[in-house]
Structure 1
Amino acid sequence: MTTAADRAARVGVDVLDCSELRRLVERPWFLRFSFAREELDHAEGLGGRRRLEFLAGRFAAKEAILKVLGLGFLQGVSPREICVEPTPHGAPVVRFRGRAAQLAPPSVSVSITHKQDVVAAVAIGVPGRGGAAADIGPTASTEPKEPDAVSPPSTSTTAPAPAQHSAHGEQAPQTTAFLRVRVGQEEAHYGGDLVDGARILRLFGDLVTEITVRTDGDEGLLAQYDDVRFAAPVRPGDYIEARARLVRRTRLRRVVELEAHKVLSARPGAGESAAVVLDAPQLVCSATATTVVPYRRTDTATAPHPVAEET
């Protein structure tokens, strides 16, 4: 016997700040755990900021839908079993798989909105005569059932970066690059002997090139920088250490995190040739770069140091 409460619409709401996911969406384990293949394929073709907005919107929508199902996060349904796909007219459509398909009501609608760095999602579900566990018919995927939700690895900032694995299951080395340079007097560009920020970006470009040479045997083509932040001035006589780390790999794109630190600093006030070793490296610039490599070069079997491709 069903009651009016059983037939009432269920509403779920979730609000998310995009900055909460900025680092997580560059981690392959989080992408595999949280998003369906269709969602990741769509995100791959977007620029850095738009990609973050898209994935944050989908994540908020999944949280709202889980509330419609009467579940909390990690309570029996994996987020990737809920697929929120865009449609040609813009309104998203929800598809369920695995455990989510067994619990979903016949009709679920979702709306996603963005404002600056905040995304909000509202989901509404209308149960059928059999309640929320009723057969959802054609909206259920015919793909094989995926495993129930599993807890993701710890996101502690003190933990080492997640290891990559090749298609054969063995652990692959993390791909990094490093440069140390002294800034010469001839590179002063602004008043006060300030060095142009483009000098640091040229270092970053060389590091990204080294990354793709190591992974793909090709210099690649730098497509864009995201989240470029200048944190401290650079002057002639400073020593700069720049580091790069490959954080995401798709069929054609490589995403690289970059940081530059000042480790030695000139001290013109203490003498014409005075300098000092800093007690701790000082961050001067950080950025994320996306570079594109030719498809013919992406066979990891021929790369000098193959790394696992995100799947």
Structure 2
Amino acid sequence: MEFLIISGLSGAGKSRAASVMEDLGYFCVDNLPVPLIPKFAELGMGGNGEYDRVVLVTDIRGGTNFEGLFQALDRLTAMKCSYRILFMDASDATIIKRYKETRRVHPLGEECASLEQAIEMERQVLSPLRERADWIVDTTGLTLGQLRSKLLSLFSKGTEEGKMEVHVLSFGFKHGVPMEADLVFDVRFLPNPYYVPELRGLTGLDEGVRGYVFSNPQSDEFLKRLSDFVSYLLPRYAEEGKTSLTIAVGCTGGHHRSVAVAHALAQFVAGQGFPVTESHRDMGHN
């Protein structure tokens, strides 16, 4: 059983972190009462797998005395339920800016004369938990995409889970540009097998059509430049936290050139280590 506890300063990104972990397949519970933590662990350890990966978000909303939390964590250790702690942090200026933008009230706002005082008090209260953390993520200056990328790098190592998924599809312009496309490439300048009688009834998945399309030097040059461009873009999109990217390749009817290029591009993307799917929207259209 994987048991992750997310805590940290109010406004530092705990909810965003929990959302990312949920995308990775964790079952997330926000602000579970501390006495119920060992009970929840028992449920997970005795279940049939539905609670194998759990995230609990706990913070100052549960009170300013974390002794109860530490006792609950000691219970987990005694139960042989291993756990890890992710602590979310940020600079005072960043937290103040976020609170002003959202117009939310700090959980300690009623006890303190100012927001700055509330943040300082929260830091003091949370310092023992911060010292026990396995990871400390400072979100100062991070975009939401960069935060997502950071968490994915910590919690999805060694698997394809959490990696950006790439979908490569072919289409025909006469049937319209796919609305879901993030990137669109037009290959109507390439030699057209449609005008070769013996190739007209085939598709870009057939060897004869692919051989015809890529027999032209400009086709090879285009595919090389396209591959270089895509290899540059993919990690940039992933770094910004994009979870999926759709690349559309179009020709006139969507039978020949776009299919051949999309198929070759999908193979290239797979070689770059990204999960990839391939489809040909208009290949069966007249």
TM interval, shorter chain, is: under 0.3
State the TM-score, normalized to the length of structure 2.
0.25
Whichever of the two has the greater Rg, that structure is 2
Q: Which structure has more strand as a fraction of its residues?
A: 1
Structure with greater helix share of residues:
2
Higher RCO (CA 8 Å, separation ≥ 6 residues): 2
Please give the TM-score of this superposition, normalised by the length of structure 1.
0.24
